[in-house]
Structure 1
Amino acid sequence: MAFHDIKVLLPVLCVILLILSSGTKLSESARVFTIINNCKETIWPAVTPGENFNGGGFELKPGQSIVLTAPVSWSGRIWGRTGCKFDSNGSGKCQTGACGSSLKCGASGDPPASLAEFTLAALDFYDVSLVDGFNLPMSVTPINGKGNCSVAGCDGDLRTFCPSELSLKANGKVIACRSACDVFNTDEYCCRGVHGNPLTCQPTFYSKKFKEACPTAYSYAYDDPTSIFTCSGTDYVVSFCSSRSQQVCTYHNKKLVCSGASASRGLKSLINGRWSALIILAAMLILK
């Protein structure tokens, strides 16, 4: 096996072992969420409501991931915080996405922040929204579900070409891109007052810029047709700083299932030879 193949395989192996060792119980009444940090910086994902998500906040270093489950009745949002400093008691602050001064979020984050939103039911609804601005590329990939099940998200980095009037900076560097509503606070940009319905709230210069960079993410409040997706009985992989076309995997009913063309091929098609034997052996030892 080439060194490149080993490098590609190692993160997958880590996710498998993490899921197996965590004791995660999979059932039809739960959705498995794998949250991955593919950014070059440490981030602090946040979730509300967070009772099923490690209390609503945690740290992920570059390359790290965490596997959690949520009941089908859960409805909430996931986002990433950046530039955070927390003490041993979990108190501190963040440059973007802060939910007060706590590591564990009990409320929504401050804009600007890229948001993944979910409503879990017999038919799940999910989306990635930039209505509150942008701070990190993120994608939501449903795996092993039935229905449309498209990948949602924004894998373009709006920080690199954010209009100067929307730019949020720290130490001379653009760390996030604010929404036009947040900056100008007008009915037109905020879709309120006479602009508070789908007929009168139309795309603006700024929302069009967001949409060009992120065609499968909400760019303004009524951007529904190309931004909200549905899927049934699926697991979700929420990736920060990943391409929407990048293959990701979940571990479902004791079988590795991945996105893309090879999704139905299972564990053996993804991993062969001695690596397959090692992973199967590891799984047997942990599940024993």
Structure 2
Amino acid sequence: MLLLYSIAAVLTIVQGVPFTFVNNHPSTIWVGSLGNAGKQPINGGGWEMAPGSQIRLEVDPSWAGRFWARTGCNFDGSGRGHCGTGDCGNVLKCNGAGGVPPVTLAEITLGGWGGNDFYDISNVDGFNIPVTFVPTDKSGSGYHCTAAACTANLNADCPNELRLIANGATVGCKSACLAFNTDQYCCRGNYGTPDRCKSSAWPKNYPAFFKQRCPLAYSYAYDDQRSTFTCSGTGYKIVFG
């Protein structure tokens, strides 16, 4: 009887957290996943999703990392190729490589402090397509068990100096760090602390462009902390587009 109880307990511990990925983008996307240090990428690090499709995956309850959409990809039969945005080393299965900015990130830490999950949408690496991150089994208010999202199409009115253009179309909106690579815009060197890197003091407050259109997403490295959401005991849905 004790043995049966122990087996049941183990099964309960290793049960995964259900994640549903949905492609509402009008074109095919190729999702990328990257685990934090010591965490394996989900589903090999990448997979293809046709418009209107969805996929459900089980994620380890202690996993932490990020997901993003790659666009404009072309892969051969061996899974090698290139993406217009979010590329991760010219392969379908990112397998430990992050997405090349500009890219919209969906980030999560499962089972963090106090047993809570912490999740957010980030434009710190810029923007390529809208993303929504929402709990599926619980609802709440404020920043607890509600949707973290960047639903605006920032490419449409991205400042000209931040635009990533391919074949005459804007396919991404760069961060100021990526566009100009200065210590101030990248919050490094003499600007590497929150008190010394405030976007309001920059020559141009580019994060304000992102924050005004996506107020629930992070806009730069030392953005306010109000864009982190918490929940627990739930699965999650990530909607691209």
TM-score range relative to shorter protein: 0.7 to 0.9
State the shift of 1:142 in Å: 1.1
Match of 1:181 in 2: 177
CA displacement, residues 158-212 of structure 1 (integer Å, 9 cap, x when unaligned) = 1000000000001111010011001111122111122222222212511000000
Alignment of 1:68-217 (within 5 A): 68-106=57-95, 107-121=97-111, 122-145=115-138, 148-204=144-200, 205-217=205-217
Match of 1:264 in 2: none
**Is the helix fraction higher in 1 or 2?**
1
From 43, 51, 67, the counterpart of 1:54? 43
How far apart, CA to CA, are the structure 2 residues paired with 1:153 and 1:188?
27
Aligned length: 217
Match of 2:21 in 1: 35
Root-mean-square deviation over aligned CA pairs? 1.9
> Is the 8 Å Cα contact of residues 215 and 226 (structure 1) preserved in structure 2?
no
How far apart, CA to CA, are the structure 1 residues paired with 2:31 and 2:51?
12
How far apart, CA to CA, are the structure 1 residues paired with 2:197 and 2:191?
5
Match of 1:255 in 2: none
1:159 is paired with a residue whose SS is coil
> Is the 8 Å Cα contact of residues 112 and 135 (structure 1) preserved in structure 2?
yes
How far apart, CA to CA, are the structure 2 residues paired with 1:26 and 1:64?
30
> Is the 8 Å Cα contact of residues 34 and 41 (structure 2) preserved in structure 1?
no
Q: Tell me, which stretches of 5 or more residues in structure 1 are unaligned?
A: 1-24, 242-288
How far apart, CA to CA, are the structure 2 residues paired with 1:52 and 1:135?
21
State the shift of 1:26 in Å: 9.1
How far apart, CA to CA, are the structure 2 residues paired with 1:28 and 1:203?
43
How far apart, CA to CA, are the structure 2 residues paired with 1:31 and 1:200?
39
Match of 1:45 in 2: 31
In the superposition, relative to structure 1, how do residues 176 and 71 fare at CA in structure 2: closer, same or farther (>3 Å)?
same
Runs of 4 or more off by more than 6 Å in structure 1? Answer: 25-28
> Is the 8 Å Cα contact of residues 26 and 32 (structure 1) preserved in structure 2?
no
How far apart, CA to CA, are the structure 2 residues paired with 1:85 and 1:51?
25
How far apart, CA to CA, are the structure 2 residues paired with 1:112 and 1:140?
19
CA displacement, residues 117-160 of structure 1 (integer Å, 9 cap, x when unaligned) = 11111211111111111001001001224771121120001100
How far apart, CA to CA, are the structure 1 residues paired with 2:230 and 2:90?
34
Match of 1:63 in 2: 52
How far apart, CA to CA, are the structure 2 residues paired with 1:54 and 1:30?
13
In the superposition, relative to structure 1, how do residues 119 and 101 fare at CA in structure 2: closer, same or farther (>3 Å)?
same
How far apart, CA to CA, are the structure 2 residues paired with 1:167 and 1:146?
36
- Percent of aligned pairs sharing the same letter: 50
> Is the 8 Å Cα contact of residues 37 and 60 (structure 1) preserved in structure 2?
yes
CA displacement, residues 105-125 of structure 1 (integer Å, 9 cap, x when unaligned) = 121111111001111112111
> Is the 8 Å Cα contact of residues 121 and 132 (structure 2) preserved in structure 1?
yes
In the superposition, relative to structure 1, how do residues 136 and 28 fare at CA in structure 2: closer, same or farther (>3 Å)?
same
> Is the 8 Å Cα contact of residues 153 and 214 (structure 1) preserved in structure 2?
yes
How far apart, CA to CA, are the structure 1 residues paired with 2:51 and 2:170?
20
How far apart, CA to CA, are the structure 2 residues paired with 1:200 and 1:184?
18
Q: Tell me, which stretches of 5 or more residues in structure 2 are unaligned?
A: 1-10
